Structure 1
Amino acid sequence: MSSQGDILKKMEEWPKHYNPKEIEPRWQNKWLSREFWEKVIRFQDSDTRPVFFIDTPPPFTSGELHMGHAYWVTIADAMTRFKILQGYNVLIPQGWDTQGLPTELKVQYRLGIPKENRELFLKKCVEWTEEMIGKMKSAMMRLGYRPNWEQFEYRTYSAEYRAIIQRSLLDMFNKGMIKMRKGPVYWCPKCETAVAQSEVGYLEKQGILAYISFPLKEGGEIVIATTRPELLGATQAVAVNPEDERYKNLVGKVAIIPIFNKEVRIISDPAVDKEFGTGAVMISTYGDPQDIKWQLKYDLPVDEMIDERGRMKGTGFLDGLKVEEARKKIVEMLKQQGFLKKLEGLTHNVLSHTERSDCQSPIEFLVKDQVYISVLEFKDRLLSEMKKMTFKPSRMAYYLQEWINNMEWDWNISRQRVYGTPLPFWHCENLHLVPADPSSLPVDPTKSSPPLEKCPHCGLPLKPVTHVADVWVDSSVTVLYLAGFYNNKERFAKAFPADVRLQGTDIIRTWLFYTFFRTLMLAGDVPFKRVLVHGQVLGPDGTRMSKSKGNVVSPMDRIEEYGADAIRMTLLDAAIGDDFPFKWDTVRGKKLLLQKLWNASRLAYPFISKRKVERPEKPHVLDVWVLNEHRNFVERAISAYENQDFYVVLSMLYNYFWEIIADEYLELIKHRLFSDDQSAIYTLSRILKDIVIILHPIAPHITEEIYSKLFGDKESVLMEKLPSVSDIPSDQEAVRIGNEVKEINSAIRTKKVSMRLSMNSPVKVKLIGSLSFVEDIRKVEEDLKKTLKITQMTYEINDSSRPIIEVEPDQPMGV
């Protein structure tokens, strides 16, 4: 046995302080090595291990890895590492949502490249995208994220991925689901493109409510109230509720639109709100979605008065003005001519382009030729099939169900932009679509000849569809692309449906819905078995992070100070689905826990490093106690990982490792370690190795470092298997003794503090309790004496339900 001096010298080889700044990059480089990929990460189609497929979100390539990105990256990485330890062949991708409006706007305005110069514009879009990917990828790696970059990193603009997108559209066309038609579309004047229903929502804004007199042709007037007086000239009818007694005698009469002197009929419709304004409204083409419904219902004419840039047209005196300017001008004209009865300020909900956080502009309705995918006819099937997918938390299923129930429009997949996947179709003047030949994919119809000379339906010439696809068309085939639906039947048979879809609440009606819908239509089944919907990471003030509020926190801000593991632990210390604030004080606390683990490992290092210790035939009772606690920890932790309850693992780590192992057990066995006690060394070695493996998915860097120093049986923790505790028998007597020892420890330490004694001060102890209690403590008397510096321990037996512990200094106070 080594001397105490040798042991302490050996311990000095281990740094006192865990330094993540030095250690973490070293392990990240190791994980990125080809050797590590080959041995641990590589996905094998022919592998006999079961497949576990995580469909992770392809983030838009903004260049900034914000805290929301860091959150799902950490969840994905923790799931991946756990499943590898569990023995799965894990398919963990990382895609990039590369195409879309934000990049176009950066290139158009920041770089000053006009989109009319199409080839140069697209070239600069790709260059910008790659620069942004480089920044985000570097930050992901610094967090310890290790997806399968080598096999499953994809970009939605790549030729391979585009071919799959276009193939899926051709398949849907062949099923009769894709058509081109003219009609009203949601239009964003700021972004100058059509958008889908899933990309719009209502925002509270300040507006006006104008009360306008419409003269009646036969004499008299009807007063309507409108928030959009600038659309006065597009009015096609005046509507009232049939139950409204005020207007029953006016239904069927003719009203004259002021200023424009156009005659319209007064109609009755139950959708009119009697309580809003005057209870009489103007139906204009188009002020809101209700106007569209009325126009279709009553076959009303259509007048377009707003162009693609949100400026007025077709009025003469308002032409060229922005909507807001035209609204002010028409109100002033109505006032001057005596038609304005009243003007009120109003706070109301305005339909806006909400899916783009940097837009939020009001939506207009323009009449356009657009390409649509039929969705509405499948609502019942979607509601039925979604029940095959389980949701965590279960309440998130409601939001998908509500979205399906409330859909009113088919999916408009046309976007009037440049940087996107070309829609693989040509069309004639009658809007018949002709699809590309599948062998030509990926194809750009603006650069290629159509597969036919003329439209097979009407014989008219064909011209290319110049629109590009909605970005959700791109990202809604992630499962099919990764599982090999079109090009790898062997993988598809094993990997589909994906085991987990990981995403946030904000894209339930977009990425979740469209992936679900498209996969069901194309592959005939749901895309994933389980949907994991995480909440939002809030600012330190508990509100949503916003640059304008100054509460945005980046994971990179202080990663050098606290390390990636402490940040990961902070992000995972909340139930999936809950919103939570991110605070650096919490990260600091997590780093303290990691330091505690580092200290315990440093203490163990001289006794267990690279040393194989046999299990003793008759283990010490305190070792039996702690192994029973350990069994409970391991079983519950594995169960929590299975259910993605990472916060439960962390909570147990505090309760078990900090409070039992670090604060109690290590102190109790120090004297046995220095005596080379095999029972103590075996137990310590076992529990530390298991803890390192269990904690690895959440805190991979520190666990790799500790594993390499203490055990090093393999090149990485990930080459181990999850610990088994089936060999640890239940021993209630040992558990009882251990709990009694904890109680005595706590009481004596508290007494020493109250007497202003140091923890190393010798004391005399008298224990008063039941016979069974005294008998228990006699079995561990020597351990207590050496741990708590007890020079004399006496006992008194009585019938009290709780033991009494008396403590006095071994020498007079003040000596």
Structure 2
Amino acid sequence: MEEWPKHYSPKEIEEKWQKIWLSEEMWKEVFRFKEEEKGKESFVIDTPPPFTSGELHMGHAYWVSIADCIARFRRIQGYNVLLPQGWDTQGLPTELKVQYKLRIPKENRELFLKKCVEWTEEMITKMKGAMIRLGYRPEWERFEYKTYETTYRKAVQRSLLDMFKAGKIEVRDGPVYWCPKCETALALSEVGYIEREGIIAHVNFPLKDGGYITIATTRPELIGATQAVAVNPEDERYKTLIGKTAIIPLFNKEVKIIAEESVEKDFGTGAEMISTYGDPQDIKVKLKHNLPSVEMIDERGRMKGTGIVDGLKVEEARKKIVQLLKEKGFLVKVENIKHNVIAHTERSDCMSPIEFLTKKQIYIKVLDDKQKLLEKYRSMKFMPQRMSYYLETWITSLEWDWDISRQRLYGTPIPFWYCKNNHLVPAKEEDLPIDPNNSPPPTDRCPICGEQLYPVKDVADVWIDSSISALYVSGYFTDKERFSRSFPVSIRLQGTDIIRTWLFYTFFRTLSLTGNVPFREVLVNGQVLGPDGTRMSKSKGNTVSPLDKIDEMGADAIRLTLLDASIGDDFPFKWEKVKAKKTMLQKLWNASRLLYPFLKENKVDLDKVRPENLIDKWILQEHKKFVLSSIAAYDRYDFYVVIQQFYDYFWEIIADEYLEMIKHRLFENDQVVLAIISKILKDLIVILHPIAPHITEEIYSRLYGDKKSVLLESLPDVSFIPDDNEALEKGKIIKRFSSMVRTSKVANKLAMPTPVDVKFYGDEKSVSVLREVEEDLKKTLKIEKIEYFNNNEEKVEISVHGS
């Protein structure tokens, strides 16, 4: 008989099973999505394509654990599972690494892009290795995709052509969010507010008819771009000034004072300068009142067209303008403040304030579909349900169409040409993928106005790439039969941090292209926090990598720790919790090792025996309850419930009670107890496998090995166990008695094998139950004699036998 090691060695066993799972044989039999099995219901998981940073942080480890757990459970449940894995490969962070770390200039376009791909592949190799080390097993063989590759790029470009045909894409000039540090336009979803130190300058604007109006501004450097002074029409201080003319200090330009309801009377002085463009409010007022515009900041964040501070960075220009206003007598006062400024916050280490520049950009029209989006999102089931609120709120708040142009190199080319009259000409579908920069247009001149055509030089926003993930994996672009069986995909997995980006854009794009929602269910997990309970950040020094102690603690223990939280909740990650989970796995290993000599060569089918012992009847009731509640919890994606129930049932009932009670019967070769414990342990392994796959595969192969993998088993069947509430209640009495005797031995500093005499005080029912199983209790608890006394309150008294 094979030797069973005393200690569970996670590194050795986990790496062994990871290699087995990656074998061709296991792929074909277990992990392959089997298109030929038309009678089996498909279960398709839309997993996040992580950006290829090279670092697999704990947030990655969390969703990797969730995705793998769901896929394994659904396979055991009988579904034909498709678990893909994509890589979001293109984007600014990679460009910055190549530009500044590898020192490759963007001007050398061909070499630059070549190095971007090489960097990407190197990062993927690192991240993929870490994913595999966590036990993650998607179908790498056929459903691994990279957004820069030809097949995926073709699908992205085709989706843009389809949206253009539907009238949803156009080119136009207008204000855009612009990051001077990264030198590219941004979408609304890529910006957010950060707190910064700043100033608020109170400036007197002379009135043409005499006097002045005082304006408080945080952007004095844009005073020369002022197109109007706005006041609230209900503000008694300024009602008589509406329609009059103000003169811009330093620039001596005349502008009108206009009435605008959105001006806050109690903010600053209650009068605003409307500059083009200082903030979103300027844009709204400019468009509403049809004001002219002038651009005084260039693409690198330097002033231009002022004649005063040209060439200076914004911060430097701000100080210079304030100084000049003071010298000329226009400055009333300057206050130092902390305020929120719009910055480049999404998917970047940038965090720099953005500007609003006027650019010719490609837009996808979103605003026209707001109402439809607000109606359709309700047909997707959210877990937890509260996460749907964040999507609804984002849709409701949308005020701009989606600017998809990015002034970068490493991205999907936008497959269009344009003319000076802002007509777009799409590429031919048969020419995809295409780069308009290197290819002639499909026609010599614009087919609408006859003007010359120019290539769209920009690349697409990275969310254009990743937002077709559900369509791509379900076969929308290439496999209509798979698409008919797999769409909408079964579930989308993602974090709270990308609801307004990946979730929204996938929902919007899929609805636009198919008329349907992309997923049936949306599971939104919370964030893994640092040990201090705050968001992980390198600057705070509280980041934790899943690989830090994986050899010592094991992937299974890490997965148990990550999944032991309610979906949607944020939670801190602590290695102390992983250590506790490893202890539980060691307990499972010990119990399996104990049973190994009895079960390896002596398996008995539970169907062929009839339990008569009260202890056996009780444990079967507990087992049925555990199995049914665990399967229900998996179906709800309440993994933490499965883990808690496993602990309560396996550790506190099976390991601490039932195994102790049946040890003597195992040595007596009791066929009933062998059948029961064999069934229980096998079911425990199957139930725990999705969460802790390595140790369960190892125990299964040693003890059962009926099939090549636990994943080829079915969910435990407990339907043959009749409900017996009486046995369940009697079992609680037995468990209480056992616990009281053990506790008394500890209190009296007696070793567990010490023979004792016991006096039990309890009601008639408890006494009757204990008498029924007295011989088992004596053998289990090393009791020589039990005396029973009627009493309303249960208690035991023990004494060393013979004393």
Compute the TM-score of the two structures, normalised by the length of structure 1.
Answer: 0.97
1:609 paired to 2:600? yes
Contact 1:620 1:680 in 2 (8 A): no
Deviates more, 1:314-323 or 1:115-124: 314-323
- Distance (whole Å) between structure 1 residues aligned to residue 376 and residue 763 of structure 2: 63
Q: Distance in 2 between matches of 1:224 and 1:784?
A: 88
Aligned twin of 1:661: 654
Which residue matches 1:79?
70
**1:262-661 alignment to 2 at 5 Å?**
262-615=253-606, 616-661=609-654
- Separation in structure 2 between the aligned mates of residue 460 and residue 188 of structure 1, nearest angstrom: 32
* Aligned partner of 2:704 among 706, 711, 719: 711
1:36 to 1, 11, 26: 26
Conserved? CA contact 1:610–1:712, under 8 Å: no
Which residue among 668, 673, 695 is the counterpart of 2:688? 695
Residue in structure 2 matched with residue 685 of structure 1 by the alignment: 678
Contact 1:180–1:370 under 8 Å retained in 2: yes
Q: Secondary structure at the match of 1:377?
A: helix
CA distance in 2, matches of 1:551, 1:654: 29
Where does the alignment leave 5 or more consecutive residues of structure 1 unmatched?
1-9
Which residue is equivalent to 1:5?
none
Q: Which residue of 2 aligns with 1:15?
A: 5
Contact 1:621/1:734 (8 A) holds in 2: yes
1:726 and 2:738 correspond: no
1:783 equivalent in alignment to 2:776: yes
Partners of 1:272 and 1:279 within 8 A in 2: yes
Deviations 1:652-684 (A, max 9, x none): 011101000011111111111111111111111
Count how many residue pairs are aligned between Structure 1 and Structure 2.
800
Counterparts of 1:132-171 in structure 2, within 5 Å, are 132-171=123-162
1:712 is paired with a residue of what secondary structure? coil
Partners of 1:619 and 1:477 lie apart in 2 by 59
Q: Distance in 1 between matches of 2:802 and 2:19?
A: 58
What secondary structure sits across from 1:80 in the alignment? helix
Aligned pair 1:794/2:787, yes or no? yes
Structure 1 counterpart of 2:757, from 764, 774, 795:
764
Q: Distance in 1 between matches of 2:611 and 2:711?
A: 32
Aligned residue in 2 for 1:3: none
How many Å apart are 1:795 and its aligned residue? 2.6
Q: Determine helix, strand or coil for the equivalent of 1:444.
A: coil
Offset from partner CA, 1:175-195 (integer Å, 9 cap, x none)? 111000001001011111000
Aligned to 1:65: 56
Question: Per-residue CA shift, 1:221-260, capped at 9, x if unaligned?
Answer: 1110000000011001111111111111111111111111
d(CA) in 2 for partners of 1:137, 1:267: 59
Helix, strand or coil at the partner of 1:721: coil
Residue 744 (structure 1) aligns with: 737
Provide the rounded CA distance (Å) in 2 between the counterparts of 1:306 and 1:610. 81
By how many angstroms is 1:737 displaced? 2.7
Amino acid at match of 2:759: K
Determine which of 196, 203, 216 is the counterpart of 2:207: 216
Report deviation, 1:201.
Answer: 1.3
Change (3 A) 1:610 1:161: farther
Following superposition, the deviation at residue 171 of structure 1 comes to 0.6
Amino acid at match of 1:17: H
CA distance in 2, matches of 1:731, 1:225: 78
Give the C-alpha shift of residue 610 in structure 1: 4.8
- Report % sequence identity: 66
Say if 2:791 is the partner of 1:807: no
Q: What are the residue-to-residue correspondences of 1:184-263 with 2, within 5 Å?
A: 184-263=175-254
**2:603–2:674 contact (8 Å) kept in structure 1:** no
Alpha-carbon displacement from aligned partner over 1:523-575 (angstroms, at most 9, x marks no partner): 11000011100000000000000011110000000001100000000000000
Length-normalised TM-score, structure 2 = 0.99
For residues 244 and 16 of structure 1, the distance between their equivalents in structure 2, rounded to whole angstroms, comes to 82
Native 8 Å contact 2:92 2:348 kept in 1: no
CA distance in 1 between counterparts of 2:603 and 2:593 reads 17
Report the secondary structure of 2:233's partner residue.
coil
> Counterpart of 2:89 in 1: which secondary structure?
coil
The whole-number CA distance in structure 2 between the counterparts of 1:428 and 1:184 is 20
Q: Distance in 2 between matches of 1:396 and 1:103?
A: 31
Report which stretch shifted further, 291-300 or 105-114. 291-300
| 1:24 aligns to 2:17 (yes or no) | no
Alignment-mate amino acid for residue 771 of structure 2: R
Q: Secondary structure at the match of 2:785?
A: strand
2:430 and 2:765 map into 1 onto residues whose CA distance is: 84
Q: Helix, strand or coil for the counterpart of 1:791? A: strand
For 2:360 and 2:141, how far apart are their aligned partners in 1?
Answer: 42
- CA root-mean-square deviation: 1.1
CA distance in 2, matches of 1:462, 1:564: 56
User: Structure 1: which amino acid aligns with 2:35?
Assistant: D
Counterparts of 1:810 and 1:391, CA distance in 2: 61
Q: Which whole-Å CA distance do the structure 1 matches of 2:718 and 2:568 have between them? A: 31
* Structure 2 letter corresponding to 1:487: T
Q: Which runs of 5+ in 2 are unaligned?
A: none
Shift of 1:732: 2.7
